[in-house]
Amino acid sequence: MRVSTIDEDGNSSEPIEMLEAWFDAHSWTNERVGDEEIVASTAGAWGSYELRGVYRNDDAVLQFLAFPDIRVPDHQAAVIYETIGLINEQLWIGHFEYWAGNGSLLFRHAALLTDDGVLSLDQAETLIETAVDEIDRFYPVFQFVLWGGKSPKDAIAAAMVETRGEA
């Protein structure tokens, strides 16, 4: 299924099919993992990101997860939790998490779909683009904390500097 086909059919489809169509239309590598899950990868500003959509039909909920290539050593868990807390205060959609079991850092968002369990093209695009944009935006913060030795507040201040004008 292609995005153009979805547009002709009312701009919505089953959630995993819609994500698959979006990934295909943008030439992103992706693979279905059963009927209710899809995994894709894309290049972000700071590296390769794994994207995963998992649909729960019983609840009509689509979980969308994005994993940057960042592993958190056990001894830095406390500072990452603090960093994530400060970052999440700034987010409107989704949130960052740290999974201690395997040291993964991720961005996650859940979308409650309508009773018919369809995902619109606009919803799919928002889920995907928000995840990639927020990882791109905050990746330097995690770098400053994990590898640069900065405090979470200093890392956010350093990474969020806005440039103005032209060089």
Q: Give 3-state DSSP helix, strand, coil % of the chain, rounded to 5.
A: 40, 25, 35
pTM of the entire predicted model:
0.86
- Judge whether 15 and 113 are in contact, CB under 8 Å: yes
Please report, to the nearest 10 degrees, the dihedral formed by the alpha carbons of residues 66, 20, 31, 37 taken in order. Answer: 70
Dump pLDDT digits (tens) for 67-106.
999 999 999 999 999 999 999 999 999 999 999 999 999 9
Dump pLDDT digits (tens) for 8-34.
454 668 899 999 999 999 999 999 998
CATH number reported for the structural domain that contains residue 42 in this entry: 3.30.1460.10
Owning domain of residue 78: 3-159
Q: In the chain, how many domains are there?
A: 1
What's at 53, amino acid-wise?
G
In a domain, 167, yes or no: no
> Measuring CA to CA, how many Å separate 76 from each of 100, 113, 150, 151?
10, 36, 12, 11
In a domain, 166, yes or no: no
